[in-house]
């Protein structure tokens, strides 16, 4: 009966790349219960490599490694010959080929792929956050948000939240309605996290009338009257004055333009 194979994975980062490649290859020969993987992450020097390779020799293991440092790769290669170890350089040949093609040296920074994964998941988390805390539906999000957008209806709070989420920013938005006091959480957070979105009353009237038309409702509904709009905007001014937060006039701005202004404000703080 064949001995259960042991595979040592050596990496200067987490070792996930090596593990996926090895598992894909092993699946052609054995199932998941018929081998053992020993992962050694964050290897930075030959002292650690020597210890791992010695252990691999003792266990008669296969060695797979992803090391961006060419000196460490060379050490494993030479040491494996001396120890009669079967070792596989998973990333080295690809790096060397790309160095020839691009005519430039690699960055020599371990874990860049993992950093990209982290950026992706952070962006997804921000998008989910924007959906969960849209339109003030859960005030608990105010304290967790990177940015809180404050404005009356139809000032692009939701599309702005989604756009900024693509930049990995967690955004909550709070609708301002005269009949409803803003949540207390809004006054407890750092006011620099809040951004007020103001709009010209005539522009808002046009937007709301078009919105009512799209919904098949009468254009003269209270929602789109000048009196109602002036009332809402006056209440908005009271709220943002109390918050003492930055305010952006979105009357003639695209979502991307407003988002860029918000990011500039955040970077300058």
Annotated binding-site residue numbers: 151-158
Binding site for ADP, residues?
Answer: 151-158
Q: Produce one character per residue of 59-77: b if its CB has 16 or more CB atoms within 10 Å, e if not.
A: eebbbbbbbbeeebbebbe
* Alpha-carbon gap, residue 193 to 245, rounded angstroms: 8
**Tokens standing for 263?**
């990011």
């Amino acid at each position: 009966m064949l001995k259960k194979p042991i595979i040592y994975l050596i990496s200067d980062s987490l070792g996930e790349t090596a593990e996926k490649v090895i598992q894909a290859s092993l699946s052609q020969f054995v199932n998941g219960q018929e081998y053992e993987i020993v992962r050694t992450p964050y290897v930075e020097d030959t002292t650690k490599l020597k210890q791992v390779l010695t252990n691999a020799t003792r266990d008669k293991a296969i060695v797979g490694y992803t090391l961006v440092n060419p000196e460490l790769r060379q050490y494993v290669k030479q040491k494996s010959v001396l120890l009669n170890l079967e070792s596989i350089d998973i990333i080295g040949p690809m790096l060397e080929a790309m160095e020839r093609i691009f005519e430039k040296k690699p960055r020599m920074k371990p874990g860049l792929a993992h950093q990209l994964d982290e950026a992706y998941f952070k962006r997804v988390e921000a998008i989910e956050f924007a959906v969960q805390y849209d339109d003030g539906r859960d005030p608990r999000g105010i304290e967790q948000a990177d940015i809180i957008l404050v404005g009356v209806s139809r000032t692009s709070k939701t599309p702005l939240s989604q756009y900024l989420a693509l930049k990995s920013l967690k955004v909550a938005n709070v609708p301002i309605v005269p009949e409803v006091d803003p949540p207390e959480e809004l006054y407890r957070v750092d006011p620099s996290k809040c951004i007020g979105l103001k709009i010209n009353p005539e522009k808002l009237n046009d937007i709301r009338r078009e919105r009512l038309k799209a919904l098949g409702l009468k254009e003269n509904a209270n929602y789109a009257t000048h009196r109602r709009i002036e009332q809402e905007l006056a209440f908005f001014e009271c709220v943002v004055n109390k918050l003492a937060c930055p305010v952006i006039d979105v009357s003639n701005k695209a979502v991307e333009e407003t988002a860029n202004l918000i990011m500039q404000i955040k970077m300058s703080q």
